Chains A and B, each alone.
Chain A
Amino acid sequence: MPADALNSALLPAGLHDVLPSEAAHEAVAVERLLAEFAAHGYRRVDPPLVEFEENLLSGAGAAMAKQTFRVMDPHSQRMMAVRADITPQIVRIATTRLLNEARPLRLCYAGPVLRVNGTQLRPERQFTQVGVELIGAVEPEADAEVILLAVQALTAIGVPHLSVDLCVPKMVERICAGLGRPDDEVRQLRAALDRKDVAGVAEVGGPAATLLETLMSASGPADRAMRALTAVELPEEAELDRRRLTAALAVMRAALPDLTVTIDLVEHRGFGYQTGLSFTLFSRDVGEVGQGGRYHAGANKERATGFTLYMDYILPAIPVVPAPARVYVPHGTPWAASGKLRADGWVTVAGLAPVADAAAEAKRLLCGHRLADGVVHPVE
């Protein structure tokens, strides 16, 4: 083994420093999203980074168990877990400390999460999640509200070519259960459906495979998919999902007629705890930018829905908000004079010592302007 010295800049895989301009870019986008959520009545909460393992990984959190870092708490001598997903924390807050708040409860959040494994496609192990949860609402209007809010917020920060893909992660399971198919068959079907592998589904055969093949080939633009979904006979277990989908889609259509909506009736991967109507948000330019859906919150199984947006996917897709112009303020400028500039919207960069060539110094410090004799001059 070559004995290379460890470079002090090296970070563990999947972790990185966010440098100037990129960090500001993210902060501005996160603030803008949160402002949009707040404008729709969602109030911000901020849970801690680390919690007791058994709390964080119960209920909705169980899906992330394999992706969660654990540490021993020397203080309580109990295992703690670093959050890999914020939603379970919001659920805990809503169903414990905010148990007596009026329903429906609208909460939003933003913060970093840490995951054990990156994937080849997403090597990041730490990234920022921004999202909302709407707890204690059973109406299809609630489903439509969170989807419309996600679209509205993403549009506000400039994510181009948005589309929403609707799905019901438990649909396949419900159809198979309704038709009384054995577990083994369901597993095989699930694996083939996850790859949209028509040949694989046909190979399994049986009544469920025939129905699922129809649903799979109907996946696509919402109108076409809904026509196909209306035409098939579904087991009772799946019927409620169809009604909810139809109702929520109608509300969405009325609000945003031009929104691109697709339906994928056999989608399932990536939805760890969602049980009902769910959705994935896509931007044609960067792929998936967030997802959400209906789930049961807490021990009392309160009906809830919500979504999470991934900032690491969103940032490359959105335009940078230009930072305010920087002005170099030479050494010895009175505090009040530079304060006046800041009040006028400039970013001031103070000279800490006198310099011979103020223009060159301004340029070196990435300032487009400099202050001289009480007047702001552009630097060529």
Chain B
Amino acid sequence: MSADTSALRTPANDASVTDRLVLALPKGRILKELRPLLSHAGIIPEPAFDDDKSRLLHFATNIPNLSIIRVRSFDVATFVAFGAAHLGVAGNDVLMEFDYPEIYSPLDLGIGKCHLAVAEPAEMIASDDPTRWSHVRVATKYPEVTKRHFAARGVQAECVKLNGAMELAPTLGLCRLIVDLVSTGSTLKANGLEQVEHIANVSSRLIVNRAAFKTRPEVSQWIDTFREAVNAHQA
């Protein structure tokens, strides 16, 4: 009739809808490292999940009420925070950036290890004295983390939000500093950059929605299952 009834919908009575659990996984590199843990936890996604040509985003698993969505790593946190997904895998870099109160990260999966760092063109380091800074311009995917990091030492950070290829920014004069994930440091080196500060160690965490954690006992069971998988994997 009209659009004003959005808040009036009655909750789905269909048990198969209210009982389902959604696990949000990040695309790319982490997914490869995650597969052994998934297998150990007894989760087998449908074949389309491993088919790179598949356009599907939502996949069934061998467990009847558990499905998997595959989204960008930053979106994993958003889906879980809003309760659209109940469980997820996200790096603590993403969790630090968003700091959603609705996300719990009860388990360090011990994969996807790297760190967040500040980097600067190697030839500038000698002539630069960071203690004299009052304002810096930084290219980063993590404006919130960056602002907090610099504010803690009394420096105002003006962030230029980029979604990739951060290393280009200093060489082309967009800014002097970048804040980015560093694993081996080879990308920095190849672009004439050098790490000047370490911000935080990063690894992938199993995250859960707060309300789901408190109201759905099976969420705690999944945390235990993944904990066993991590222990077995690291042993």
Contacts and interface: CB of A to CB of B under 8 A. Distances in A.
B105 A196 contact: yes
A318 B10 CA distance: 6
Contacts of B156: none
B217 A220 contact: yes
A187 interface: no
A55 interface: no
A269 B101 contact: yes
Interface in B4-44: 4-5, 7-12, 18
A319 B10 contact: yes
B211 A288 contact: yes
A195 B5 contact: no
Contacts of B81: 120-121
A196 B101 contact: no
B7 A25 contact: yes
Contact of A221 (B8, B11, B18, B217): B217
A198 B4 contact: no
B8 A320 contact: yes
A197 interface: yes
A212 B5 CA distance: 45
A264 interface: yes
Contacts of B95: 195
B103 interface: yes
Nearest to A270: B101
A25 B10 CA distance: 12
Contacts of B216: 284
A199 interface: yes
Given A121-B82, A161-B215, A195 B104 contact: yes
Contacts of A178: none
Nearest to A198: B106
A19 B5 CA distance: 9
A280 interface: yes
Nearest to A285: B11
Given A22-B5, A284-B18, A319-B10, A196 B104 contact: yes
A85 interface: no
Contacts of A283: 215
B65 to A, nearest CB: 14
Nearest to A196: B104
B192 interface: no
A89 interface: no
Interface residues of A, number: 39
Nearest to A161: B215
Interface residues of B, number: 35
Contact of B8 (A25, A264, A284, A288): A25
A272 to B, nearest CB: 13
Contact of A22 (B8, B12, B92, B100): B8
A163 B214 contact: yes
A202 to B, nearest CB: 9
Contacts of B12: 285
Interface in A13-50: 19-22, 25
Interface string A263-276: 01000011000000
B205 interface: yes
A122 to B, nearest CB: 10
Contacts of B217: 220-221
Most buried by B among A198, A262, A280, A319: A198
A315 B5 CA distance: 11
Nearest to B5: A21
B108 A199 contact: yes
A71 B180 CA distance: 43
B220 interface: yes
Contacts of A319: 10
B111 interface: no
Given A121-B82, A198-B107, A282 B7 contact: no
A145 interface: no
Contacts of B82: 121
B83 interface: yes
B52 to A, nearest CB: 32
A270 B4 CA distance: 30
B102 interface: yes
Contacts of B101: 121, 194, 269-270
Contacts of B102: 121
B4 A195 contact: no
A288 B101 CA distance: 12
Contacts of A220: 217, 220
Contacts of B18: 161, 284-285
Contacts of B10: 318-320
A154 B159 CA distance: 46
Interface string B101-142: 111111110000000000000000000000000000000000
30 contacts: A19-B4, A21-B4, A21-B5, A25-B7, A25-B8, A120-B81, A121-B82, A121-B102, A160-B11, A161-B18, A163-B214, A194-B101, A195-B104, A195-B105, A196-B105, A196-B106, A197-B92, A197-B105, A197-B106, A197-B205, A198-B107, A199-B105, A220-B217, A220-B220, A262-B215, A280-B214, A284-B18, A315-B7, A320-B10, A366-B1
By Cβ-Cβ distance, the 5 closest A-B pairs, closest first, are A287-B211, A196-B104, A199-B108, A19-B4, A284-B215
Interface of A: 19-22, 25, 120-121, 160-161, 163, 165, 194-199, 220-221, 260, 262, 264, 269-270, 280, 282-288, 315-320, 366
Given A195-B103, A197-B92, A197-B105, 16 more contacts: A19-B2, A25-B8, A160-B11, A161-B18, A194-B101, A196-B104, A199-B105, A199-B203, A280-B214, A282-B214, A284-B211, A285-B11, A285-B18, A316-B8, A316-B11, A318-B10
